Amino acid sequence: MLDLPAPGPDLVLSYGDLPEHVVDVRFGSADRPLVVLVHGGFWRPEYDRLHLRPLADALARQGWSSAAIEYRRVPGDPDATVDDVASAIRTVSVAEELAGRSNGRLVLVGHSAGGHLVAHAAVDPLPQVVGVVPLAPVVDLALGEELGLGDGAVRAFLGGPAAGRPDLDPVRLPEPRVPVTVVHGTADEIVPLALAESYARRHPQVRVRPVDGGHFAVIDPRSSAWPTLLEALDAR
């Protein structure tokens, strides 16, 4: 994804005092919801929002304005991450700079660990949130820990076993209060499709859209998964 050319954001917003408290905004059409993008990287500090710029650029060319949020990624401090995501979503929902750039609604889209974060946010969303689209998400933390995803990424993120933080595990949380459509590659070896299937079994209202390809196909506008993502957005 980093090899794809993509312009920088049209606007950078701040939602706090720390360097991570920023949001990259790309403008599309005013008659669609704002897509709030949450990047992945197994919640680790070395991965940031920049690899979503090609996705944001492709969405803008399809008419979708987007806000790619950054957040703290401190191993063993998951609450800082979750709090930052919630704060960033609140900020973009009322930002004067975004007035007239969307129809006032929000769709949350997150990839991998970001998919976990938007699925978590779907349980108690803001009124403006009309849908959530997790892409190749880590939505069953206990299963992710059992499978050893990302060389122990789940335990490193939580600072302990997944069983100790059921409040952060989407598969163990109450039903999402907004429509959730998961887009997940059938050949994903980084975050297997089994995690999305486990989540959907627990929450039958969740829709899973399997697509061809691996972990990064779901955020690559060149892939065969791209139309499925656009369909999921258009459904909102």
Task: For 88-119, write each residue's pLDDT tens digit.
Answer: 999 999 999 999 999 999 999 999 999 999 99
pLDDT in tens, 165-200: 999 999 999 999 999 999 999 999 999 999 999 999
Q: What is the three-class DSSP state of 230?
A: helix
Under CATH, to which class is 11-234 assigned? Answer: alpha beta
Question: Model's pTM, two decimal places?
Answer: 0.97
The whole-number pLDDT of residue 222 equals: 94
- What was the pLDDT predicted at 121? 98
Long-range contacts, 192-195 (Cβ 8 Å, 24+): 192/147, 194/143, 195/137, 195/138, 195/139, 195/140, 195/143, 195/144
Give the chain's largest Cα–Cα span: 46
Q: What pairs with residue 11 in β-bridges?
A: 25
Intervals of the chain under pLDDT 50: none
Residue pair 88/15 in contact by the 8 Å Cβ criterion: yes
Any idea where the domains of the chain sit in the sequence?
A: 11-234
